[in-house]
Structure 1
Amino acid sequence: MMPALRIDGYVIVSADGMLANAARVMPDGLKFEGDKLFFTAALDRADLIVHGRHSHEEQPNSPRRKRIRLTRSINAIAADPGNPRATLWNPAGASFEAACEFAGMRSGTVAIIGGPNVFAMFMDRYDTFWLSQAPRVRLPGGEPCFPGVPERSPQQILAAHGLKPGEAKMLDSADGVSVTPWRRGL
């Protein structure tokens, strides 16, 4: 791992550990104003966003954010022809460090925003994983936040990778939505 990079993950999940419905779409029922404000502020502070094809933040500042998008459509690393602030990266053809170098990222905070396989790639590298939970939402047959869910909970998977929970913060008291920082080395 590049020592000058801090790697943080962000996801909101339903009570059953899903980040999207069966159609791989985040439903409105999993969107909460408090979590949106938390997520937006975190991405505004990040120096680089990393995500897969289906994960994106769709926010007013999105076009201004430097990003790496994972794809199998290229051999290794390339500039994104549709976005001058984006790098395309195929992990089968190049390392994360090489993709960061190509993107001009040598230090700072990297925000990993999904999807499930992207989250899994960084499980042993997160400094902090911010797990937001919507305990009153269920998405039967939905897309799990990590490979291995629902057989194991998101918390069990994070703990299995050496992350420990910190104090939860309430983001939306009316719906019980909270965020818990899972940190390495506590």
Structure 2
Amino acid sequence: MSIEIVGHAVVSADGRIADHLRQMPAVLRNDKDWVRFQAALDRAQLVVLGRLGHEAHPNPGRRRLVATSRVERFEPIDDLVTLWNPAGMDFRDVAAELGVTDGVVAVVGGQQVFDYFLRRFTRFDLVTVDGALLPDGVPCFSTGWPDEVLAQAGLRVVERELLDPGVRLEVWRH
């Protein structure tokens, strides 16, 4: 397989992807990042996300793989959406079943999905909103701060961009 697995996360200054209700708060939203992010998803062969994200955001016509424990292995819902249990089937097997053998797979979270793909990422786009703090929120990764976890997984920052004042993008690669 020649699949590039690209993670996409926007985090608060304290490394959180959601608030205490497991919702993405408005403080993490940025128009320039949103346009960049949507364009990246449009280019992807497949978008992988958790069930909560899938249920919270209508599918604009992209092919989605929804990680959930509510199925044993995987279960197609329609032409664009397949439910998948990472504990029941390895990603390589489900990708082969879906006919995804090359191109970009965009992984957009949540935490358990990011944790599952951590050693598989070829790239991770990390956007940080410096002024935002979510002390009771959901961390991007269960094992620590995003930059430390990504570095421990063998990725390094290859590009930095200031998207807006206080909103910065770091591109991590192997």
TM-score bin, normalised by smaller chain: over 0.9
Q: Does 1:125 align with 2:117?
A: no
8 A Cα contact 2:158 2:171, kept in partner:
yes
Q: Please, what TM-score do these two structures have when normalized by structure 1?
A: 0.88
Tell me how far apart the structure 1 counterparts of residues 142 and 169 of structure 2 sit (CA, whole Å): 20
**Residue 77 (structure 1) shift:** 1.3
Q: Report what 1:105 is aligned to.
A: 100
**Residue 84 (structure 1) shift:** 2.6
Q: Secondary structure at the match of 2:4?
A: strand
Q: Report what 2:170 is aligned to.
A: 180
Match of 1:9 among 7, 10, 14: 7
Write the letter of the residue equivalent to 2:74.
I
8 A Cα contact 1:14 1:137, kept in partner:
yes
**Which aligned segments of 4 or more residues in structure 1 are displaced greater than 3 angstroms?**
56-59
Match of 2:17 among 19, 27, 34: 19
**Residue 36 (structure 1) shift:** 0.6
**What is the number of equivalent residue pairs in this alignment?**
173
Q: Does 1:165 align with 2:154?
A: no
Q: Secondary structure at the match of 2:112?
A: helix
**Residue 71 (structure 1) shift:** 1.2
Match of 1:72 among 64, 69, 73: 69
Alpha-carbon displacement from aligned partner over 1:97-133 (angstroms, at most 9, x marks no partner)? 1211222212110000001111111111111100000
Tell me how far apart the structure 2 counterparts of residues 75 and 182 of structure 1 sit (CA, whole Å): 33
After superposition, residues 84-99 of structure 1 pair within 5 angstroms as: 84-99=79-94
Write the letter of the residue equivalent to 1:129.
F
Write the letter of the residue equivalent to 2:68.
T
Structure having the higher helix fraction is 2
Stretches of structure 1 that go unaligned for 5 or more consecutive residues are none
Alpha-carbon displacement from aligned partner over 1:30-86 (angstroms, at most 9, x marks no partner)? 111111111111101111000111224837xx3310111111111111112xx4301
Q: Secondary structure at the match of 1:41?
A: helix
**Residue 167 (structure 1) shift:** 2.2
Tell me how far apart the structure 2 counterparts of residues 105 and 49 of structure 1 sit (CA, whole Å): 11
RMSD of the alignment, in Å? Answer: 1.4
Write the letter of the residue equivalent to 1:183.
R
Write the letter of the residue equivalent to 1:67.
R
Tell me how far apart the structure 1 counterparts of residues 157 and 52 of structure 2 sit (CA, whole Å): 27
Write the letter of the residue equivalent to 1:100.
A
Q: Please, what TM-score do these two structures have when normalized by structure 2?
A: 0.94
